[in-house]
Structure 1
Amino acid sequence: MSGKKLVCFHLFNDYSGSPKVLKMVLEGMLRKGYRIDLVSSKGGVLDELLSYENLHKHTYPYRFSNNPAMTMLRYCAVQLYTFLLAFRWLFQKDVVFYINTLLPVGPALAGRLMGKRVVYHYHENAFVKGAFYKTLAFLMQKLAHEIICVSAYQASFLQRKKGVTVIPNALPKEFTDRLHPNPETAFERKTVLMLSSLKEYKGTREFIELAEKLPQYKFVLVINDTEENINNYLAANKLHDLTRGGINLTIYPRQADVTSFYNTATIVIVLTNSRQAVETFGLTALEAMSAGLPVIVPTQGGIAEMVKDGNNGYKIDVQELDAVGKHICVLLDNKELYIRMANNALLFSAGFDSEKVVTKLTQIITD
């Protein structure tokens, strides 16, 4: 076991992709005996690590607001707090600062000022977002000793080439062990699943429209937010009428464990609008294929690297919603085609071994 101590910073602890991957990495390191300090907000998937004696968590309150100015104010307050907090490790030797996502720039800056090793685990693609994220990406390339990217697509946007490593994400064994792939029974369920958020580019509106157009199938939408915020969003966007009348559509709020949804689905779709945001990896697609489910994903980004069109899924942009609907019908009405694609999806997912990924990440983080 290395004598190095890891101090990990993650802004918002919820049940989305990046904290899930972080939990897998930290848990693998904790089991190997590494001492870890985790600095993040409370109430999400990372709190499941609190049972480990060699982990100490520093918690602060943080949540998003419907008011962008308020969100930015809270973000800046957390950056100032974590910048100052970081100096508690000033006199400790062999400390590595592990920055998960672009957002914790305050502790990254503090780490460099103190001469600590700073490693970024870069999950976003800042270069298809606004000036704020581009600024954070510029700072990351200046502050990081090492940048871990989750796809070749994502890494291609970085000006910096030295100290950049591509390691695709994987799923923890405790997650995949709860999945029960069975293409025969999955086909009979005729259920279309999407896991999303309330961000406009994630395709919530389009998913609801698909459910209305295809009443012969069941649609399930899991939104990573509270029931109150979901109802407010539906009301503000005049979507309540569609959801009230759609008996084939069920919407669920944030879930601590989504395996049951995969185990009761037939296919999984991702409707991210690639004109507004690009999926750098596509953890949802990997989760779906690990459950033996074909997927429909956008044509761009790291998520598109995971799908061979017509083999384990389809690549269709949300702007072609009629084409998405057509391919849903093709899959759900052709059992032989469905089973072949479901088996291909499961075979593809087997190449993402969590133990190998955690070992590679540990080597890079601790150098």
Structure 2
Amino acid sequence: MNRIICFHLFNDYSGSPKVLKMALEGLLKKGYQVDLISSKGGVLDELLHYKNLRKYSYSYRFSNNPVITILRYSTIQIYTFLLAFRWLFHKDVVFYINTLLPVGPALAGRIMGKHIVYHYHENAFAKGAFYKALATAMQKLAHEIICVSEYQASFLKREKGVIVAPNSLSNNFTNRLIPTPQTAFERKQILMLGSLKLYKSPLEFIELAQKLPQFTFELVVNDTQENINGFMKEHKINICKNLTIYPQQNDVVPFYNQASLVLNLSDKKQVVETFGLTALEAMSAGLPVIVPTEGGIAEMVVDGENGYKIDVQNLNQIAECIKTILSDETLYMKLAQNALAYSKRFSEAKMVNCIEMILNRK
């Protein structure tokens, strides 16, 4: 295999395209030819300067109207299904499907007899019927499935061809992080990165800021300022003085370098984090974390060692935990040092080599 045909539905700055960008960049540096099919305007476009990458772009975005979203999604699946036949007579290629969503090209690849590898980032079995149907399709279409955690893999019915390859961070990202535990403790600044989806708990983060006026809160939302304004208006939110909300950012390193503590408040009753990239980013900056009690993200945290596991339903407990962490310097230094040490287990080179090995299987 010397040519990779990669399909990713929505190219933004969220976790799965970030991981894909890292994997593809490593493969491009190794000399592989990559044909990338994805939407315009996200982190994957940062790869366009590589001469051995060709990108096929389309316009795509989500809508608050589920009918419009499914129509747009279906249109892209038909388009990429047909586009996939461009590689019908290319023998030495592999179809690399990132996330569950590009089912159209996966089906086309199977029809053509191509080798199909899925990079599975979601936990479909904690979502609705639509994602469960896509997961069923993946298990029938894929020759190999790359899972990001043991927790995620445990839900799949098939065992053959399922490989766990934990996510990592790029060297370019980690090299710009500046762990300074003493200074971070003194800042008293709490950070969360997420979206406006209610299961990501932006409203609860805002409530925490209201409960804890002695601390500074920053919320980085993977969305436009226009949509943030609409969300604030819809939920009748008055932003308190100690809270700043930022729209989608191309670079989040400066936020970690100014934070003291990072939260992930995903509601486990609605969604379960399969890995927890923001937790790894935080720990790589030497920052303690508070995360949910279930999922791949929970595998990364030991209570009282590098952070704490508390569900968003226990918001008062989270508030008390924040006060404890940011008032006890000895505890904070222990959590910060252990968080940084834990992050060293994850290597960009190790992840890329693992993915390369899987893509070369036939």
Q: TM-score by structure 2 length? A: 0.99
RMSD: 0.5
| Partner residue in 1 for 2:43 | 45
* Aligned equivalents of 2:77, 2:232: Cα separation in 1: 32
* Aligned equivalents of 1:201, 1:22: Cα separation in 2: 24
| Partner residue in 1 for 2:32 | 34
- The structural deviation recorded for 1:278 is 0.3
- Which of 211, 214, 227 lines up with 1:213 in the alignment? 211
* Aligned equivalents of 1:365, 1:14: Cα separation in 2: 24
- Which of 184, 187, 195 lines up with 1:186 in the alignment? 184
| Partner residue in 2 for 1:344 | 338
Q: Which 4+ runs in 1 deviate beyond 3 A? A: none
| Partner residue in 2 for 1:331 | 325
- Which of 350, 358, 362 lines up with 2:356 in the alignment? 362
The residue type equivalent to 2:185 in the other structure is F
Which of 352-361 and 134-143 deviates more? 352-361
Pair 1:228 & 2:226 matched:
yes
- Which of 154, 168, 189 lines up with 1:170 in the alignment? 168
- Which of 6, 10, 13 lines up with 1:8 in the alignment? 6
* Aligned equivalents of 1:266, 1:210: Cα separation in 2: 15
* Aligned equivalents of 2:315, 2:148: Cα separation in 1: 28
* Aligned equivalents of 1:281, 1:92: Cα separation in 2: 35
The residue type equivalent to 2:245 in the other structure is I
| Partner residue in 2 for 1:249 | 243
- The structural deviation recorded for 1:102 is 0.1
| Partner residue in 2 for 1:295 | 289
The residue type equivalent to 1:187 in the other structure is F
Q: Deviations over 1:53-111 (max 9, x none)?
A: 00000000000011010000000000000000000000011110000000000000000
| Partner residue in 2 for 1:81 | 79
Give the paired residue count. 361
Pair 1:140 & 2:138 matched:
yes
* Aligned equivalents of 2:68, 2:359: Cα separation in 1: 34
* Aligned equivalents of 1:237, 1:306: Cα separation in 2: 33
Percent identity over the alignment is: 67
Unaligned runs of 5+ in 1: none
* Aligned equivalents of 1:123, 1:187: Cα separation in 2: 33
- The structural deviation recorded for 1:205 is 0.2
The residue type equivalent to 2:288 in the other structure is P
* Aligned equivalents of 2:360, 2:94: Cα separation in 1: 7
Pair 1:265 & 2:263 matched:
no
- The structural deviation recorded for 1:4 is 2.2
Q: Deviations over 1:13-54 (max 9, x none)?
A: 000000000000000000000000000001000000000000
| Partner residue in 2 for 1:68 | 66
Pair 1:312 & 2:306 matched:
yes
SS of aligned partner of 1:311: coil
| Partner residue in 2 for 1:199 | 197
* Aligned equivalents of 1:50, 1:202: Cα separation in 2: 31
SS of aligned partner of 2:4: strand
Unaligned runs of 5+ in 2: none
| Partner residue in 1 for 2:112 | 114
- The structural deviation recorded for 1:365 is 1.4
SS of aligned partner of 1:319: coil
